[in-house]
Amino acid sequence: MPTRHTFLHALLATALLFAATACHHLPRPPDTRSTGEPSTAQPPTLVLLSLDGFRADYLQRGVSPNLQRLADEGVRAQWMTPSYPALTFPNHYSLVTGLRPDHHGVVHNTMRDEALGRFRVADTQAKSDGRWWGGTPIWVGAESVGLPSAVIFWPGGEAAINGVRPTRWLPWDDTIPPAARVDLALQWLDAPAPTRPRLVALYFETLDRAGHDHGPDSPEVDAAIAELDAAIGRLRAGLAARGLLEHTNLVVVSDHGMATVRNAIETEGMVDAADAALVSDGQSIGFAPLPGRAAAAESRLLGRHEHYECWRKQDLPPRWQYGTHDRVPPIVCQMDEGWDAVPRQKLQQRTPRAVTGSHGFDPASPRMRALFVARGPSIRRGAVLPPIDNVDVYPLLARLLGIDPSPNDGDAAALLPALREAAAEH
């Protein structure tokens, strides 16, 4: 029997689908229902945007004037280094928990757990199971002190984590275009102050898809950047129309960059299937030796190969801070930049292209560098900050919300220079 919660979300989903259909005919953001400037007694709202696959140097391409304006009016980091592995789900969850994947447990886009089974990003049931998601994401921290939150498609937002979900959330639906997601966020911000979300987190995947399909230097990637930039402009205009722009801290991030890929190998050629099972493929590849076959699997895999290198999980490079969690496979192989490793069947199903794009390579690579931009009443104006790690974002988010951060791996001092109050103290 449907619950009231399910019914409300069905209504929201219907409204969003209508907005998705209608948004192509709207030249500007929808009219506001705000009755004027918000009360200054209300702390600023925090809006967190993720542009999946936005490489740090994309900002210099000249096709994102709205994002550039936010950076000019606020702060940006020279770049942000992703956590290992430089993949979507692990890094999105690191951004909102401040924990490395090895500590929050989302160690890959595809993983196995002895008790929970297999996790894939396309598996709705797994994604909505809070047992996969360790730590305390920023929306759970907000909800636990009575601050309403809203999450649109951010990885982890569909799960009850520590028994808590955002006040408002939607199940994943990649048919909803960026403009419609913005419109829904603005609709939620039309709520009266006591129930208005203090935190809104929005996720956009279209740029990442373009990068994978066409490579980072393609016109399709530039077009995807422009589409997301238009959504940012739409959000800004909608906030301004509601009198909320100068009462909202905007933080724009990405999870990783994108590198050109021209070559791929078959995972079947890396080790005999009788010796080890494939756990994850792509750029960070995991193998689990079969019972009694560990020596044979290690003999074939460990060490340097022509286009990749493999380690026992406990011997991975220390700078990656990876390999202690039970979900990390016993053997991890890292592809050289520009190379993929995928099962033969998946490789045969790929559309032939001379150039594609991917991530998941060494986080130290300039092509893996991610974006950090912030603008708002709590943020300095016109500052360019040194490079940061993505786990440093969470302490800033907690500070902007005025909540105590949960235990995390971030450096709280790294983004203090982004704050007006910190600048005033010096």
Catalytic site residues? 88
Q: Is 12 helix (H, G, I), strand (E, B) or coil?
A: helix
Contact 246, 264 (CB under 8 A): no
Side chain identity, residue 410: G
Nearest residue to 235 (alpha-carbon basis) of 270, 279, 200, 197? 200
Phi and psi torsions of 312, nearest 5°: -65, 150
DSSP alpha helix (H) spans, 3-73? 4-22, 65-73
Radius of gyration of the chain (CA): 22
DSSP secondary structure string for all residues of 339-402 = EEEE-HHHHHHSPP-S-EEE--S-TTSGGG-B-EEEESTTB-SSEEEPPEEGGGHHHHHHHHHT
Phi and psi torsions of 76, nearest 5°: -140, 150
Quick one: how many helices (H) and strands (E) in the chain? 13, 21
Contact 211, 258 (CB under 8 A): yes
| Helix axes of 219-241 and 65-73: crossing angle, nearest 10 degrees | 60
Contact 170, 9 (CB under 8 A): yes
Q: Is 425 exposed, middle or buried (0-12, 13-18, 19+ CB in 10 A)?
A: exposed
CA atoms lying within 13 Å on the CB side of residue 373 = 25
Q: Is 45 helix (H, G, I), strand (E, B) or coil?
A: strand
Contact 391, 99 (CB under 8 A): yes
